[in-house]
Amino acid sequence: MGRVERHLRYFERFDARARILARVELVSETGCWIWMGSVSPAGYGEAGSRFSVRSADRLSYEAFVGPIPDGLELDHLCRVRCCVAPYHLEPVTHAVNVDRGRIARWLPGSGTPGDAGGCVSFGGSRLVLAER
Ligand SMILES: [Zn+2]
């Protein structure tokens, strides 16, 4: 990789971080970064350009931590689906992700299935954290 290319990569990554930080609200009690952009019906953050829509949690992980290994999904350790805090995301296999979700449903205070993981759409684009 050439010098100029390396610089471009650096700025792209830096720029991605700035764009993510501009669209989150920090919840100091939990450390969650609540995605304030659009959210899928299931409660996951979405970042769209004119060309594509990508999940906000994956973008955040890639921008702050690094590439997600092939075939792995991001598990939200805080169980807040619209959270994009890189330290709340862990790449796991689909099987592990499903298992953990199943366990989490039995824990007191966790969301019930179908409640979008504590994330509620408000006015189309803003989000509020549902009472948990
Ligand atoms: Zn979180």
- Which mean pLDDT values do the consecutive 10-residue runs of the chain (132 residues) have? 80 85 89 89 82 90 95 91 94 91 63 53 47 41
CATH 3.30.70 fits 3-129, yes or no: no
CB 132 within 8 A of CB 121: no
Encoded amino acid at 24, one letter? V
Please tell me the distance from the alpha carbon of residue 102 to that of residue 127, in angstroms, as a whole number.
25
In this predicted structure, what is the pLDDT of residue 126?
Answer: 42
Distances (CA, A) of 24 to 7, 68, 96: 26, 21, 27
Instruction: State in Å: Cα 80 to ligand 1 middle.
Output: 6
Instruction: State in Å: Cα 78 to ligand 1 middle.
Output: 5
Instruction: State in Å: Cα 11 to ligand 1 middle.
Output: 26
Instruction: State in Å: Cα 88 to ligand 1 middle.
Output: 5
In this predicted structure, what is the pLDDT of residue 71?
Answer: 95
In this predicted structure, what is the pLDDT of residue 28?
Answer: 83
In this predicted structure, what is the pLDDT of residue 60?
Answer: 96
In this predicted structure, what is the pLDDT of residue 73?
Answer: 94
CB 82 within 8 A of CB 39: yes
Instruction: State in Å: Cα 79 to ligand 1 middle.
Output: 7
Sequence-separated (6 or more) residues with CB below 8 Å from residue 37: 23, 45, 46, 47, 56, 125
Residue spans per domain, the chain: 3-129
Please tell me the distance from the alpha carbon of residue 56 to that of residue 65, in angstroms, as a whole number.
14
Distances (CA, A) of 124 to 19, 36, 41, 118, 128: 20, 10, 11, 16, 11
In this predicted structure, what is the pLDDT of residue 56?
Answer: 95
Instruction: State in Å: Cα 82 to ligand 1 middle.
Output: 8
Strands of 6-118 (E only): list them: 24-27, 32-35, 46-48, 53-55, 73-76, 89-92
Element containing residue 64 per DSSP (H, E): helix 56-64
Instruction: State in Å: Cα 12 to ligand 1 middle.
Output: 24
Instruction: State in Å: Cα 70 to ligand 1 middle.
Output: 23
